């Protein structure tokens, strides 16, 4: 013999189960209406946001419904055609989203064409009936450090490169422009978004020349997942590393960041360097993010909970804007390192092999110093056929880059005489160039 729970008791049991597994459950405020949400989930191969004949549906895919307060309300599962229906709803505001485990498993390879964002969710105000479609297309990536899918140079000289087509370099640059404090360091920074297996990091160089630091350059590596999880928080944290290193080491000639630690009120603290959050560079990067990052980036909690937030440290913001960005009194430094100008970069040994180029060729040359380097192939009329490197950060020494005899549209070029041009700009802004004509047959 078995008993049947009354409907009210059954609802209570189901609610308790959902709460135990981590869902916030609405008190069935969505139920009892006659409105409907329907739609489709499919592989939007041509990226037009419309389901077209021949495009593959995502069947057996669960979708969650949330009410206006973010409470879980219902689940729908797509059929073999990728279609779903959520019915019996009261009018109001809802969000339809992929369950988090599904989103986490797909987000590195797929991006929506119908949501207006990178996220697998849409919000609508329901009145009678509504349609929420999820067209998804695969992300295209470049794994070649010399070939970003998009690139832009900001007005202050910062170079931004994106290695996927989900987010363009211009979109990253627009996010950077929401910050508040940029200086001479900007022209020596390259921001690289979603390249290879990089995690969030900052790599920085400052040459120690006879006891003085100069010749600053920094690469910021921003991971795609961190952007999805925290938007521009990591971007401004990493920029804070570069900004802090430039002003602390090159301007202040203080690699230990002693002046900063005193301004922060933690100089001599026994916990310094006891953990990542207690390293001077991490604290400075976090202070930059909180004080000068975008409103979104500044709103994230501080990584080190044992020290007061940057905004509550008296005079810290003003000190970072003024004193920290100026050479110490009596140093005789302009903030760019030693007063003697380092030798300008030189480009030597430019060659193209084999000659003539038939299927592909290699451009090689040597740099006397680290430099942002551009390499272009031009036709006999001087028009650019293809850019092989675009302000790429190259170390001193031999540089080689391949050309597959195609133009910027991927089409094979005709036989004739072409010219390869190399332009290199070092950290002091000094420029060198070289050019070489070569045959293609």
- pLDDT score at 209: 60
| Most distant CA pair in the chain, distance | 96
Whether the full predicted model's pTM is greater than 0.85, yes or no, is: no
SS3 371: strand
Q: Which of 420, 421, 374, 419 is CA-nearest to residue 394?
A: 374
Q: What is the pLDDT of residue 331?
A: 58
Q: Give pLDDT, residue 217.
A: 87
For position 343, what pLDDT does the model report? 65
H helices present in 198-330, as ranges: 224-230, 233-245, 258-264, 280-292, 295-298, 316-321
DSSP 246: I
pLDDT tens-digit map of 65-115 = 999 999 999 999 999 999 999 999 999 999 999 999 999 999 999 999 999
Domains detected in the chain? 22-138 (2.60.40.10), 150-325 (no CATH), 347-440 (2.60.40.4070)
Residue 20 has pLDDT above 70, yes or no: no
In which element (H, E) is residue 39 found? strand 31-43
Nearest to 175 by CA among 247, 230, 225: 230
Distance CA 196, CA 441 (A): 35
Number of helices and strands (H, E) in the chain? 9, 21
| Gap between the Cα atoms of 10 and 28, Å rounded | 13
Q: Which tokens go with 223? A: 């991971």
Residue 335: its pLDDT value, please? 47
Higher pLDDT, 30 or 177: 177
What pLDDT score does 197 carry?
Answer: 63
Q: Distance of CA 175 to CAs 4, 113, 168, 250, 294, Å? A: 57, 21, 11, 26, 8
DSSP string covering 196-230: TT--SEEEEEEEEETTEEEEEEEEEEE-HHHHHHH
183: helix, strand or coil: coil
């Amino acid at each position: 013999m078995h008993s049947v729970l009354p409907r009210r008791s059954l609802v209570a049991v189901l609610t308790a189960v959902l709460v135990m597994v981590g869902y916030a459950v609405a008190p069935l405020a969505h139920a009892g209406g006659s409105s409907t949400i329907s739609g489709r989930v499919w592989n939007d191969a041509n990226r037009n946001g419309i389901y077209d004949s021949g495009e593959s549906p995502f069947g057996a895919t669960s979708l969650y419904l949330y009410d206006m307060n973010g409470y879980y309300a219902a689940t729908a599962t797509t059929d073999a055609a990728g279609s779903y229906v959520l019915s019996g709803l009261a009018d109001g505001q809802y969000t339809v989203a992929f369950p988090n485990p599904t989103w986490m498993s797909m987000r590195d390879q797929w991006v929506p064409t119908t949501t207006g964002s990178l996220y697998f969710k849409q919000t609508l105000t329901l009145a009678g009936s509504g349609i929420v479609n999820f067209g998804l297309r695969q992300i295209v990536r470049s794994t070649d450090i010399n070939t970003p899918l998009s690139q832009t140079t900001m007005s202050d000289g910062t170079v931004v490169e994106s290695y996927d087509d989900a987010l363009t370099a211009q979109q990253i640059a627009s996010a950077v422009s929401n910050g508040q404090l940029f200086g001479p360091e900007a022209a020596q920074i390259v921001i690289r978004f979603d390249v290879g297996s990089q995690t969030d990091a900052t790599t920085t160089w400052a040459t120690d020349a006879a006891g003085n630091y100069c010749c600053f350059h920094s690469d910021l590596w921003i991971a795609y997942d961190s952007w999805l999880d925290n938007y521009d928080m990591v971007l401004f944290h990493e920029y804070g590393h570069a900004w802090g290193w430039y002003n602390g080491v090159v301007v202040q000639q203080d690699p230990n960041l002693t002046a900063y630690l005193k301004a922060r009120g933690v100089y001599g603290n026994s916990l310094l360097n006891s953990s990542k959050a207690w390293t001077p560079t991490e604290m400075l990067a976090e202070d930059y993010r909180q004080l000068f990052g975008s409103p979104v980036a500044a709103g994230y909690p501080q990584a080190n909970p044992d020290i007061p937030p940057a905004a509550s440290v008296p005079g810290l913001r003003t000190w970072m804007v003024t004193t920290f960005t100026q050479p110490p009194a009596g140093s005789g430094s302009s903030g760019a390192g030693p007063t003697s100008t380092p030798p300008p970069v030189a480009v030597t040994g430019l060659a193209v092999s084999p000659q003539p180029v038939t299927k592909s060729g290699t451009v090689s040359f040597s740099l006397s110093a680290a430099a942002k380097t551009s390499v272009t192939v031009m036709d006999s009329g001087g028009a650019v056929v293809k850019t092989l490197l675009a302000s790429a950060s190259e170390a001193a020494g031999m540089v080689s880059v391949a050309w597959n005899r195609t133009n910027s549209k991927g089409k094979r070029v005709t036989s004739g005489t072409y010219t390869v041009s190399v332009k290199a700009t070092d950290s002091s802004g000094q420029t060198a160039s070289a050019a070489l004509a070569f045959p293609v047959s």
